[in-house]
Amino acid sequence: MRKQIAAANWKMNLSLQEGETLLETIIKQDGNLSDNRKVVFAVPAPYLVMAVGKIASEPHIHVAAQNVYSKKSGAYTGETSVAMLASIGVDHAIIGHSERREYFNESNQLLAEKVKICLEENITPIFCCGEALPVREANGQNDFVTRQLEESLFNLPAEQIVKVVIAYEPIWAIGTGKTASSDQAQEMHAHIRSQFAAKYGDEVANSISILYGGSVKASNAKDIFGKPDVDGGLVGGSSLIADEFIAIIKALK
């Protein structure tokens, strides 16, 4: 079975003390995760060392950066390199979140560079893709998402693409309280997998975890995660509430 993943994106929230308490609470109650399940915490950059320390004895729990820079090193004040992240034990990174695309004008080409440099340091990219409401209303979502994949990922060889995790974010369902129905999520996830199959073959496509990101909650996680091409979620607001995120973890296949 493909890896089933519950990824928490804390965004720019919580104090250090609040983050420590939240992590400790979830780690204590996550249960014994099976080998096909894993949990990822994408915490703010100042908390990465703390988080890595908290999960050190948890083989199925990982820490992600919320962003990386596209260069290995140099005079880039304020940025963080993948080598720096690897040196402190961070092994995942969110790439291309819709907020990075919208607020910081990150292009598909820039994200291709970020994915490539993550893979060079054995950091797993969680690559985000998805459409805004006008694209969905015009029924252009499939072509839009396909272009994101083609321009950022399809330059990679098969042996590298299998190391990438995909997160589909219907942008119109992030932080709005709206959620794509489980059938809508399955439809897009199946489309994404079909694009990988067309490029790399069925075996590769069927090995790639595709997460749903868009107002995932304890109340809808089991329904969404139960769809055959949905392999977990990239969770925002609900990941800041211990009981909610614990329930989401338990909803994984």
Q: Is 92 assigned a catalytic role? A: no
Q: Give, to the nearest 10 degrees, the angle between helix 182-200 and helix 141-152.
A: 40
Phi and psi angles of residue 95, each rounded to the nearest 5 degrees, phi first: -125, 125
Positive/negative CA dihedral, 149, 181, 23, 210: negative
Return the number of other C-beta atoms located less than 10 Å from residue 183's C-beta.
Answer: 10
State in Å, rounded, how far the first CA of the chain is from the last one: 9
The Cα–Cα gap between 189 and 210 comes to 7
The catalytic residue among 99, 106, 131, 169 is 169
The catalytic residue among 62, 92, 97, 189 is 97
Q: Is 150 assigned a catalytic role? A: no
Provide the pairing of β-strand 92-95 with 124-129: parallel
Residues acting as catalytic residues = 97, 169
